[in-house]
Amino acid sequence: MMLWRQFAMEWRLYRRDRVAMFWTFAFPVVLLLGFGTIFRDGGGPKLSVVRVQAPAPGPQDTALDQALVDVQLKVQALPKTEAEARWSRGETAAQLETDGAGYRLRLNSYLMAQAGATAGLVNQAWLMAQARLNGSPEPQRIPVSVESPGHKHSANYAAFLLPGLLGLNLVSMGLFSVGMVNVSYREKGKFRRLAVTPLPKWIFLLGQVLHRLTVTVVQAAILLLVGRLVFGIENQGSFVDLFLIMTLGTGCFMAFGFALSGFAETSEGYAAISNLVFFPLMLLSGVYFTLDSAPAWLQHAVAMAPLAPFLRALRAVFNDGGSLAGHGAGLAIVAAWGLAAFALAVRRFRWA
């Protein structure tokens, strides 16, 4: 009864906090809609190349253009000025233009994953076009397709991003909704005011934890719903696995917040500490992009931090319909962080 009252009051006050509501519920959706839409084509089912239109197309150009289509490239033919403008905006991964009697292919150094694959296809098309012009037999080519590892999604960026956001939500819930709030309660004396009443402190904390848990569930449900309605993203794995891994992550990052709050005296101090943890985790753990091109030592370090293995397992289930069984090592890392944080929280947590 006391617990229910405490829990209900947390929700009532939370609903009045517009800023927290925005960051918790709306912001992840905005990110998903925004990035999911912007990068819709970039990682789409087809690799694409921008073809700068030749001023006076000869038979060679016609043959090459046909071959580009035959190797399954998406070709966007643009006049020179338009193509250049698009290139300088950074939207083009690969741009093919006539250069004297031959051709030139420019690859965007920021989009090497798409550009590299596209380059391979363009060269295949060129060999094919030459053979056709010469009347010699066409070279055999190996067909290329772009797919998600589990063959379930068509490599949609939104599908990659959504599990990343689910994980990021857990981290910010732990670090900010739990850790930051506890530091400010301690700093402002809210814990002390409670301590002079007969309310057992564990009821207060449990009410808070239950509230954060339900917030997390609602938050995840909203993201999943938007992902499904707008981008057609569905959970490819079992919902039991999804639930288990989300529970593990929630426990781990909530313990993180409790532990970290024991290391700061003031809200300002806590903001510094938590951002020091939050930003590297967010940027390096594969929330928004993979770290394939980072140095090996960094990839190893990130693989030992809690978020990256969590996201790897989450994506294996959610995107690729895999089971958790194959991710024992990664899940063990997450669980170990969670247990270490919990032990630290028990030692360091202070009411005053």
Q: Which helix (H) or strand (E) holds 106?
A: strand 102-107
| Distance between CA atoms of residues 96 and 313, nearest Å | 39
Nearer to other proteins, 12 or 347 (CB): 12
CB of 17: closest distance to other proteins in angstroms?
7
Do 227 and 32 touch, CB atoms closer than 8 A? yes
| 3-class DSSP state of 99 | strand
Nearer to other proteins, 196 or 229 (CB): 196
| 3-class DSSP state of 114 | helix
Nearer to other proteins, 60 or 184 (CB): 184
| Distance between CA atoms of residues 123 and 325, nearest Å | 41
CB of 169: closest distance to other proteins in angstroms?
23
CA dist 32 to 70, 125, 163, 214, Å?
Answer: 34, 36, 10, 21
CB of 189: closest distance to other proteins in angstroms?
5
Task: By CB under 8 A, name the binding residues for other proteins.
Answer: 2, 5, 9, 12-13, 16-17, 188-190, 192-193, 195-199, 352
CB of 192: closest distance to other proteins in angstroms?
6
| Distance between CA atoms of residues 162 and 214, nearest Å | 19
Nearer to other proteins, 24 or 235 (CB): 24
Place of tokens 């068509």: 154
Nearer to other proteins, 185 or 253 (CB): 185
CB of 214: closest distance to other proteins in angstroms?
18
Do 67 and 103 touch, CB atoms closer than 8 A? no
